[in-house]
Amino acid sequence: MNTKRANAIDNLVAGRIRAYRQQLGITQANVAEKLGISFQQLQKYEKGVNRIGAGRLFEIAAVLRVPIQALFPESEPTAAQASRRAEELKAISDFLASVDGWRLCRSFLQVDDLRKRKKIIALVQEIAETAASGKDRP
């Protein structure tokens, strides 16, 4: 077994790094510059291609202004759970990088009323559940 290869937890951490960076609205190049690495190296970290050492992970958390624990799972997931979570984070990250994702997020952030935000979330969840159950098909 090659212990140097990224595993499901590494991929989960990578996805969280990317999500926090995007949430802050900063580029890979900006983060990489602050870390003293190339943006390609940061790309590899965010994609889970390269594992991240403890010291570098500490530096990344500081640049992203999050506690290092925020980059890890809340509880100890099984490998399958971590893998599903990593896939989910990748899908979310990919969606946020899309034009529709960007427009949806920007519009949602313009809604200041917390009750309206909760209603929007409930509506989208209901639509998703209906779609998943196949009830919205003709």
Does residue 21 share a domain with residue 47? yes
Does residue 61 share a domain with residue 36? yes
Check residue 5 and give its pLDDT: 75
- Which range marks the domain in which residue 44 is found? 1-97
Does residue 40 share a domain with residue 25? yes
Does residue 67 share a domain with residue 17? yes
Check residue 10 and give its pLDDT: 87
Does residue 112 share a domain with residue 84? no
Does residue 119 share a domain with residue 89? no
Check residue 1 and give its pLDDT: 45
| pLDDT tens digit at each of 138 positions of the chain | 455 777 888 888 999 999 999 888 899 999 999 999 999 999 999 988 889 999 999 999 999 999 998 898 776 667 777 788 788 888 888 898 899 999 999 999 999 988 898 899 899 989 988 888 776 555
How distant, in Å, are the alpha carbons of 78, 108, 115, 123 from that of 103?
35, 8, 21, 17
Does residue 81 share a domain with residue 32? yes
Does residue 80 share a domain with residue 16? yes
Check residue 75 and give its pLDDT: 62
Q: Cα separation of 58 and 85, whole Å?
A: 22
Q: Cα separation of 74 and 100, whole Å?
A: 30
Amino acid at 88: E
What value does the CA radius of gyration of the chain take, rounded to a whole number of Å? 17
**Number of separate domains in the chain:** 2
Does residue 113 share a domain with residue 91? no
Q: How far is CA 28 from the centre of its chain?
A: 14
Q: Cα separation of 31 and 65, whole Å?
A: 11
Nearest to 23 by CA among 63, 59, 78, 56: 63
Does residue 54 share a domain with residue 22? yes
Residue 95 phi, psi dihedral angles, 5° rounding: -65, -45
**What's the CATH code of the domain at 87?**
1.10.260.40
